[in-house]
């Protein structure tokens, strides 16, 4: 029996909103420019962790259940075991799921995770400008 894979995107979104709200509250209370730095470091670590987690999930699933796809897409991890999004992007946007519903779910979840990471990066200049305006 194949393992069912959960979609953790909602959890990621809630965690990011929590970080954003807490950082905004600290910014309003303490009116300090360091709040942006703290927000930047925390969200950057958060983005790296969820990216590695999702990349490992899809790679492990392919290695265990779909050797053909795994051999084609070993680019998810380089020699050191680090997830490499750029070389795996072609696999993520392709329609070739080999008829496996779990691959479809994992790819969909990973795409949503990448979108969240992009949104987090676009939040940096906005949060920086707000911290500068309120900081003076």
Query: Comparing 34-38, 79-83, 111-115, 121-125, which segment has the lowest mean pLDDT?
Result: 79-83
CB of 103 within 8 A of CB of 97? yes
Look at residue 2 and tell me if it is in a domain.
no
Look at residue 74 and tell me if it is in a domain.
yes
Look at residue 3 and tell me if it is in a domain.
no
Between 50 and 59, name the one with better pLDDT: 50
The answer to whether residue 22 scores a pLDDT higher than 60 is yes
- Number of compact structural domains in the chain: 1
- 77 - beta bridge partners? 83
pLDDT for 20: 85
What is d(CA 79, CA 83) in angstroms, rounded to the nearest whole number?
10
Encode pLDDT of 57-109 as tens digits.
888 888 888 777 766 665 555 545 555 556 567 777 778 777 788 888 888 88
CB of 107 within 8 A of CB of 58? yes
Look at residue 82 and tell me if it is in a domain.
yes
Look at residue 126 and tell me if it is in a domain.
yes
Look at residue 29 and tell me if it is in a domain.
yes
Domain that holds residue 119: 9-135
Look at residue 4 and tell me if it is in a domain.
no
pTM confidence score: 0.78
Look at residue 116 and tell me if it is in a domain.
yes
């Amino acid at each position: 029996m194949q393992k069912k894979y959960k979609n953790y995107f909602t959890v990621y979104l809630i965690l990011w909103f929590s970080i954003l709200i807490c950082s905004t509250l600290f910014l309003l209370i303490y009116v300090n420019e360091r709040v942006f730095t703290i927000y930047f470091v925390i969200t950057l670590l958060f983005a790296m962790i969820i990216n590695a987690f999702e990349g490992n999930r899809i790679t492990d699933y392919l290695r265990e259940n779909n050797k053909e796809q795994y051999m084609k897409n070993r680019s998810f991890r380089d020699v050191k075991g680090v997830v490499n999004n750029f070389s795996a992007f072609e696999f993520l946007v392709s329609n070739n799921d080999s008829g496996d519903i779990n691959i479809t779910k994992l790819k969909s979840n990973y795409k949503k995770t990448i979108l969240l990471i992009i949104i987090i990066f676009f939040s940096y200049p906005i949060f920086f400008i707000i911290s500068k305006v309120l900081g003076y």
